[in-house]
Amino acid sequence: MTSLSILFGAAVGARNALYARGVLPSRRLERPVVSVGNLSVGGSGKTPFVLLLGDLLKQRGIAFDVLSRGYGRRTRGAAIVDPGGASRDFGDEPLLMARKLQVPVIVGEERFAAGRLAEERFPSRLHLLDDGFQHRALARDFDIVLVTPEDAHDRLLPAGRLREPLSALARADAVVLTSGAPEDLFPLAGKLVWRAHRTIAPSDLPAHPLAFCAIARPRNFFVQLRNAGVELAGEASFRDHHQYTEKDVRDLMAAAARAEAGGFATTEKDAVNLGGYFSALKPLAVVPVKMELMDAQRALDAMLQTITQRRGKAV
């Protein structure tokens, strides 16, 4: 571990200690909060898991909203996401969640303010807090943390990708082992342990497409496409949350021409970030990334039961 990672770890530990002692306050909303987060910087599947959890709640008839920071947006303050809006105003992941879940999604640097706005405007019975594990300023009633196989051997920022050490899982209620993460390498005593994996469902792809994306772990997307039997003409990746420009589109078209690609393939998140340039790339297949949770109904029951016990009333 580098000296910078040691300093980062010390700062994280000191901050968590201040919250644990009540020196730094965690404010509580009137309605229950379920946080979905992780330990590392991007790539664990938080957004697909929020979509999955949202679908499970909708099947039970439980009205909910989503609270998110809105990373990458150019606006400030708490705001209700317009599904027809642009990622520069709301962030790509909140916009994707609003479009797919068709529930209120509220963005805000202060998630408490976003939650208050949600409670003023919508009759939700539950808040889903997107990427909330490190946002301790908002109290939560159930903490879900996703871990990847890489997390087990990774290092703290800036030497690695971890935002917190593995010992931070002590704060979690449920730990989701994704992509075959090994149970024996994580401190899971007393935790609900769930298993999930991500899948893609490519359909109507052009022949030999050029695949491109701007996600935390682009290689995973390309490997999944190949594992699904897609013969790629080429690959192109951009920084996570990248909002595409006219030059990017020209470069992608030139790369496709050089590779004699029959078209393009990208993720749903990238389709959001293409905005008005989406129609310029033809033919373009948008490949959904989905999360599947083992024993999903049992997991949901355990979550709701825990919240009921802590709140003293059913959700």
> What DSSP assignment string belongs to 178-239?
ETT--GGGS--TTSEEEEEEEEE---SPPSSPEEEE-SS-HHHHHHHHHHTT---SEEEE--
Non-local CB neighbours of 147 within 8 Å, separated by 6+ positions: 38, 39, 44, 169, 175, 176, 177, 178, 181, 186
Upper half-sphere CA count for residue 240 (Cβ side, 13 Å): 11
pLDDT digits (tens, 9 = 90+) for 120-168: 999 999 999 999 999 999 999 999 999 999 999 999 999 999 999 999 9
Do 41 and 195 touch, CB atoms closer than 8 A?
no
Q: Give the percent of the chain with pLDDT over 90.
A: 93
Residue type, 275: G
**Section 8-13 average pLDDT:** 94
Residue 5 burial by CB count (10 A; 0-12/13-18/19+): exposed, middle or buried?
middle
Q: Give the percent of the chain with pLDDT over 70.
A: 100
Gap between the Cα atoms of 298 and 304, Å rounded: 10
pLDDT at 26 over 80: yes
Residue type, 101: L
The full set of domains in the chain, from first to last, is 3-197+292-311 (3.40.50.300), 202-287 (3.40.50)
Do 236 and 214 touch, CB atoms closer than 8 A?
no
Gap between the Cα atoms of 45 and 304, Å rounded: 22
pLDDT digits (tens, 9 = 90+) for 294-315: 999 999 999 999 999 999 999 9
Which pLDDT score, from 0 to 100, does residue 289 have?
Answer: 87
pLDDT at 42 over 90: no
pLDDT digits (tens, 9 = 90+) for 255-282: 999 999 999 999 999 999 999 999 999 9
Q: What is the mean pLDDT of the chain?
A: 95
pLDDT digits (tens, 9 = 90+) for 98-122: 999 999 999 999 999 999 999 999 9
Bridge-partner residues for 145, per DSSP? 37, 175
Which pLDDT score, from 0 to 100, does residue 1 have?
Answer: 66
- Indicate if the alpha-carbon torsion angle 306, 309, 311, 315 is positive or negative: positive
Q: What is the pTM of this model?
A: 0.94
Gap between the Cα atoms of 5 and 97, Å rounded: 33
